[in-house]
Amino acid sequence: AKQAGRGCFAYFSEELTIAVRKRIALEDRLRKAIEQRELRVFYQPQIDIASNRIIGAEALVRWQSPVDGLIAPVNFIPIAEETGLIIAIGEWVLRETCRQGRLWLAAGFSPLTLAVNVSPHQFRRCDISALVEKILAETGFPAGLLELELTESGLMDNQDKAVEVLNNLRSQGVRLAIDDFGTGYSSLAYLKRFPVDVLKIDKSFIDDIPHLQDDMEITATIIAMGHTLGFQVLAEGVETHVQLAFLREKGCDAYQGYFTSKPVPADEFTELLRAQQKE
């Protein structure tokens, strides 16, 4: 048994060394990727359910690696969050999105709300309201068209501080959304404390509509409750006509999902806006 134990230990430690090396290598590559401008922002349309029109977009980061091609955020955001690189990435995404938003305005498209994700680490560790103020001034993008998506976990651990930061952002005119709503603590008590504008119903509740009765009830309840409390409600991950019809029937305000479009580069998003203009 002792022998086996030692064997196991050696085996695990070797595995661990490989994992640690890979991690450090990835961190190093990611650091260089930021410097060498390999990050890209993709935009996924947000659609008003009543009018069927694009009213905004969520900005989603990708890593265009010259070696590995387009890398999805799931493969680098977690490590960026752990190492603190998310602060530099988040700042870059915010600036790039506001810069692009200003271009769309200048091109004469009707005003779009652009939603940018703020990670829990970024929310806790950097002065997000000062950063937003600086970037809005720099880019000339209107505060009222910027929406920040925050997760419940990022807000919960220091609620008083969170409320202060949110109020500060609100006083600049920035809109606030709770991302992945329904997956975290989701207590009604905290919702009342936080000055937010939008609840984004998590994709996991939408996925199994119309097959799971529970998910349909939860979704309908979030919409009704959200409206009672004065929030707009957006559903994410809408892939089918049936899901959209259900959301429309329940009075959901807006949605995003592959049913309309995947996240696309800015030039492709411009084409979507052009097509809509012609309608």
Q: Interface residues with Ca ion (CB under 5 A)?
A: 117, 149, 179-180
CB proximity list for 278: less than 8 A, separation 6 or greater: none
For the bound state, the minimum distance from the C-beta of residue 56 to Ca ion, rounded and expressed in Å, comes to 12
Query: Is 147 among the residues that bind ligand C2E (CB under 6 A)?
Result: no
Main-chain phi, psi angles of 55, to 5 degrees: -110, -5
Whether the CB-CB separation of 148 and 174 falls below 8 Å is answered with yes
Among positions 49-108, residues that touch ligand C2E (CB under 6 A) are: 60-61, 72-74, 77, 86, 90, 93
Q: Could you tell which of Ca ion, ligand C2E, none binds residue 93, using a CB distance below 5 to 8 A set by kind? A: ligand C2E
Q: Could you tell which of ligand C2E, Ca ion, none binds residue 106, using a CB distance below 5 to 8 A set by kind? A: none
Q: Could you tell which of Ca ion, ligand C2E, none binds residue 263, using a CB distance below 5 to 8 A set by kind? A: ligand C2E
Query: In 3D, which of 147, 148, 56 has the Cα closest to residue 110?
Result: 56
Q: How far is CA 209 from CA 4, 49, 214, in A?
A: 49, 17, 9
Among positions 168-227, residues that touch ligand C2E (CB under 6 A) are: 179-180, 203
3-state secondary structure of 44: strand
Query: Is 242 among the residues that bind ligand C2E (CB under 6 A)?
Result: no
Q: Count of alpha carbons within 13 Å of 235, Cβ hemisphere only? A: 32
Query: Is 236 among the residues that bind ligand C2E (CB under 6 A)?
Result: yes
Whether the CB-CB separation of 116 and 164 falls below 8 Å is answered with no
Query: Is 117 among the residues that bind ligand C2E (CB under 6 A)?
Result: yes
For the bound state, the minimum distance from the C-beta of residue 143 to Ca ion, rounded and expressed in Å, comes to 19
Query: Is 1 among the residues that bind ligand C2E (CB under 6 A)?
Result: no
Q: Which stretch binds ligand C2E (CB under 6 A): 103-111, 133-141, 220-228, 231-239?
A: 231-239
Sign of the dihedral through C-alpha 127, 130, 134, 135: positive
Q: Count of alpha carbons within 13 Å of 206, Cβ hemisphere only? A: 29
Query: Is 45 among the residues that bind ligand C2E (CB under 6 A)?
Result: no
Query: In 3D, which of 41, 58, 54 has the Cα closest to residue 177?
Result: 58
Of 21 and 84, which CB lies nearer to ligand C2E in the complex structure?
84
What are the residues binding ligand C2E (CB under 6 A)? 44, 60-61, 72-74, 77, 86, 90, 93, 117, 119, 179-180, 203, 236-239, 256-258, 263
